[in-house]
């Protein structure tokens, strides 16, 4: 009897350990994976990154305030746990509506008052197939991780909608470009807004030479020389040397006139910036490192941030070490470097009307880390004073804030949901 119990427990233990392996986990049905993630905190990277999950039970409680958190499943998105490789999409706010673009270019909106009713998500027609002549863009699932051709960001400014994306330039080469449309919730008519001639060739025989996920694409509006201009982050698509090339727009922060005609390099030496916020005149970006070394940078005009010469991460494959001390090698030190990497995504400044205890904090969302990082910084935004990790237990692709509802909206990749984060209501 004792032997049967022993072997039974042993089999159970082996089964549990097997489930925690990456391969077995991915083979489970989607609903089963959601249950394991939400109830037992199991994820693809559980074994390697389990230290991240020690305080999961506290969410949505935080160090200073308590939060309410709801998830609303979205239509027209391909969630990660169901096998989708593409980014789930991007969001922005327009009057009383949340605008959504999926990873394969499907536009829709939800009225904020109907936020709990999935059936109220309304599709918006577009002319994207007349503008984007690339079958890879419209695929729900990419052929490989290296061919994730999709939208990179969504920005609404003065009744116009801007979408950055990986654009096919000529035969088989790509850069990060922008299209623009007058806001019309029935039919969006896009036109080319901004592109540039240099690009990186898609090379299927040597995948290490091209990676569409290293393409940046975040946008923001900034006041510059008493004029409003558009900032665009670009990645290198895996072509490392382009980040230091003054004749290339790859691996840069770009400054673009709102007519789309005039542009310039604002800063260089950046790998793959997936977060961008302008706060009190400071341009803050979050950038993916190689293996480790995700960075927060305060971007200054004509400065060099070191990639691919300096990084606090290591290279893929051969584990070559980069130069660590940026300033000793003529580059700007990052505000902060995450080692191990957390898979940084969007940045947002917290406004006073959300909660005074979070006033002027910066929120950094993450993919691999499946968390929001609340950061307090010095007055010059050059140093982190404190950071709090708020574990959501899903990859977070995008975040926006709505002044009217005093809520943050998060685009969650694992479940393909819209997360709603607000101050906890009094019982």
Residues 6+ apart with CB under 8 A from 340: 49, 292
- Please report the pLDDT score of residue 352 as a whole number: 87
Q: How many Cβ atoms from other residues are within 10 Å of residue 319's Cβ?
A: 9
Residue pLDDT, tens place only, 207-220: 667 888 899 999 99
Residue pLDDT, tens place only, 311-344: 998 877 666 678 888 999 999 999 999 988 999 9
The answer on 142 and 13 residing in a single domain is no
Q: What is the pTM of this model?
A: 0.87
How many Å is the Cα radius of gyration of the chain?
A: 22
pLDDT band at residue 76 under the 50/70/90 scheme: confident
DSSP 13-43: HHHHHHHTSHHHHHHS-HHHHHHHHHHH---
Mean pLDDT of 194-222: 86
Peptide bond into 44 cis (omega under 30): no
3-state secondary structure of 89: strand
The answer on 367 and 250 residing in a single domain is yes
The answer on 319 and 240 residing in a single domain is yes
Cα 374 from chain centre? 16
pLDDT band at residue 50 under the 50/70/90 scheme: very low
- Please report the pLDDT score of residue 268 as a whole number: 98
Report the DSSP pairing between strands 187-188 and 122-126.
parallel
Q: What CATH number is associated with residue 275?
A: 2.120.10.30
pLDDT band at residue 13 under the 50/70/90 scheme: low
For the ranges 71-75, 121-125, 263-267, 295-299, the lowest mean pLDDT is seen at: 71-75
Mean pLDDT of 192-211: 83
pLDDT band at residue 77 under the 50/70/90 scheme: confident
Residue pLDDT, tens place only, 78-89: 776 655 678 899
Summary mean pLDDT of the chain: 86
The answer on 116 and 69 residing in a single domain is yes
By C-alpha distance, which of 213, 69, 227, 222 is closest to 151? Answer: 213
pLDDT over 90 for what percent of the chain?
A: 67
Give the count of domains, the chain.
2
Work out the end-to-end distance of the chain between its first and last CA atoms, rounded to an integer number of angstroms: 52
**Residue 77: which domain range?**
50-423
The answer on 95 and 32 residing in a single domain is no
Residues 6+ apart with CB under 8 A from 356: none
By C-alpha distance, which of 335, 365, 371 is closest to 347? Answer: 365
pLDDT band at residue 235 under the 50/70/90 scheme: very high
The answer on 312 and 387 residing in a single domain is yes
- Please report the pLDDT score of residue 143 as a whole number: 81
Contact 425, 71 (CB under 8 A): no
By C-alpha distance, which of 324, 322, 393, 396 is closest to 88? Answer: 396
Q: How many Cβ atoms from other residues are within 10 Å of residue 3's Cβ?
A: 7
């Amino acid at each position: 009897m004792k032997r049967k119990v022993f072997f039974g427990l042993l089999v159970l233990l082996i089964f549990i350990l097997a489930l925690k392996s990456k391969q077995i986990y991915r083979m489970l049905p989607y609903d089963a994976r959601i249950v394991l993630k939400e109830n037992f905190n199991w994820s693809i990277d559980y074994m390697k990154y389990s230290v991240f999950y020690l305080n999961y039970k506290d969410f949505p409680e935080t160090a200073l305030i308590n939060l309410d958190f709801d998830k609303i499943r979205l239509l027209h998105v391909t969630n990660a746990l169901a096998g989708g490789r593409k980014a789930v999409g991007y969001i922005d706010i327009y009057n009383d509506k949340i605008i959504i673009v999926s990873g394969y270019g499907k536009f829709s909106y939800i009225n904020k008052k109907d936020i709990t009713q999935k059936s109220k998500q309304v599709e918006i027609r577009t002319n994207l197939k007349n503008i984007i002549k690339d079958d890879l863009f419209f695929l729900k699932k990419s052929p490989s991780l290296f061919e994730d051709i999709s939208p990179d960001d969504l920005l609404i400014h003065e009744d116009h909608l801007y979408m950055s994306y990986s654009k096919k330039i000529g035969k088989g080469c790509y850069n990060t470009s922008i299209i623009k449309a007058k806001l019309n919730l029935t039919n969006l008519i896009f036109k080319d807004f901004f592109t540039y001639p240099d690009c990186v060739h898609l090379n299927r025989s040597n995948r290490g030479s091209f990676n569409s996920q290293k393409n940046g694409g975040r946008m923001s509006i900034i006041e510059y020389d008493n004029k409003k201009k558009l900032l665009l982050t670009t990645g290198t698509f895996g072509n490392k040397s382009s980040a230091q090339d003054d004749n290339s727009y790859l691996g840069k922060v770009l400054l673009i006139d709102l007519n789309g005609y005039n542009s310039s390099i604002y800063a260089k030496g950046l790998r793959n910036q997936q977060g961008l916020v302008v706060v009190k005149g400071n341009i803050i970006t979050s950038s993916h490192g190689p293996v480790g070394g995700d960075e927060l940078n305060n971007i200054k005009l004509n400065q060099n941030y070191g990639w691919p010469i300096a990084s606090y991460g290591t290279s893929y494959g051969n584990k070559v070490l980069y130069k660590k001390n940026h300033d000793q090698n003529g580059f700007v030190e990052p505000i902060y470097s995450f080692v191990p990497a957390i898979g940084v995504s969007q940045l947002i400044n917290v406004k006073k009307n959300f909660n005074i205890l979070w006033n002027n904090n910066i929120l950094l969302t993450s993919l691999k880390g499946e968390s929001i990082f609340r950061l307090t910084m010095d007055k010059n935004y050059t140093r982190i004073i404190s950071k709090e990790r708020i574990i959501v237990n899903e990859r977070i692709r995008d975040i926006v804030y709505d002044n009217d509802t005093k809520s943050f909206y998060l685009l969650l990749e694992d479940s393909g949901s819209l997360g709603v984060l607000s101050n906890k209501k009094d019982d």
